[in-house]
Amino acid sequence: MASVLIWLGRLAFFALYCIQSYSLTSYPAEYKSDNSFYALILLFIPALGLWIWILCDEKNLQWLFAVWLAYVWLALIPLIGIIFGGDDPIENKLDSQVLFGPNVLKMTLCVTPLLLLLLLSTGTDSMSYRELIWLLSLRIALDLFDTVEMLEVVLEENIVPHNIPRSFENAIIAFACISFLLSPLQLMQIKLLYRGKWEYRDFASICHKTLQTLVVNCVFLGLRLALFLEYGKDASIFIAKNGIVILLSLFQICSECECCGCSD
């Protein structure tokens, strides 16, 4: 039986999930003056249904990654594509004087890492699970904040222009979406053993760290260096973050592969 704190966390997850789904679908509905876009909220239903099914029986907890996968692949990415993509993107029309302006969009996107933390930390009271998942969830949340910050670069270009070309913005949006798409793979690193015991899948961990390093952190580092050197956009904090994560990931990969003189 889950504790009161766990159930409060689940309630917070449900509330924030509903708020984010309504907020994201409101942007195309408001800026395209078409209330039919509110039907996009249905994209969030599969992940919510999976989550409720898992909560009914903790034996299904190993499928928690499927909730995040359904949320990211079926709901979050399509809405980001609608808001940021196209020949006449909604993000270029955002009005800071109305409710659904750029600031609310930033806050809405920042809910994503919090949803991830609540989803994972409220899965079960099992200490074996919580000790394993906390470190993993914090790392995923950090990567998600990194991705959201990249999207904020595109939003801020409409407020404080740095003469960033649209092609460069499209590259930022594309790799931000790739980063979101890869995030469910991190959850596939853990597996349920007998009697509620959990452990990492070594091969999945190595594959994901390699992809995350090459496709996300190295690319984000390159994009931020270009923003800083070519367009005068200050990104020093996240440049340092990407550099540190790349080094740590390389060390962890070598350690898990037991190569380059590294071992567990």
> Which secondary structure element, helix H or strand E, spans residue 57, and what is its range?
none
What whole-number distance in Å separates Cα of residue 201 and Cα of residue 20? 32
How many C-alpha atoms does 88 have within 13 Å on its Cβ side? 4
What whole-number distance in Å separates Cα of residue 119 and Cα of residue 135? 14
Residues 146/221, Cβ–Cβ less than 8 Å: no
| Alpha-carbon distances of 192 from 188, 195, 223, 251, rounded to whole Å | 11, 9, 38, 26
What whole-number distance in Å separates Cα of residue 119 and Cα of residue 112? 11
Residue 86 contacts by C-beta under 8 Å, 6 or more apart in sequence?
none
Pull the structure tokens for residue 118. Answer: 């609540």
User: In whole angstroms, what separates CA 249 from the centre of its chain?
Assistant: 18
Tokens 């996968």 label which residue? 69
Residues 123/59, Cβ–Cβ less than 8 Å: no
Note the pLDDT of residue 49.
Answer: 95
Best CA proximity match to 246, nearest among 227, 224, 225, 220:
220
Best CA proximity match to 241, nearest among 122, 153, 147:
147
Residues 80/20, Cβ–Cβ less than 8 Å: no
pTM: 0.87
| Alpha-carbon distances of 171 from 1, 159, 262, rounded to whole Å | 47, 20, 35
Q: What is the pLDDT along the chain (264 residues), one digit of tens a residue?
A: 467 888 899 999 999 999 999 999 999 999 998 899 999 999 999 999 999 998 887 777 778 888 999 999 999 999 999 999 877 889 988 888 888 999 999 999 999 999 999 998 887 766 666 766 777 788 888 889 999 999 999 998 888 888 889 999 999 999 999 999 988 877 776 665 545 555 666 666 677 778 888 888 899 999 999 999 888 888 778 888 888 888 888 887 777 676 655 555
Tokens 């029309």 label which residue? 93
Pull the structure tokens for residue 186. Answer: 């991190």
Note the pLDDT of residue 202.
Answer: 64
What whole-number distance in Å separates Cα of residue 248 and Cα of residue 22? 37
Note the pLDDT of residue 14.
Answer: 96
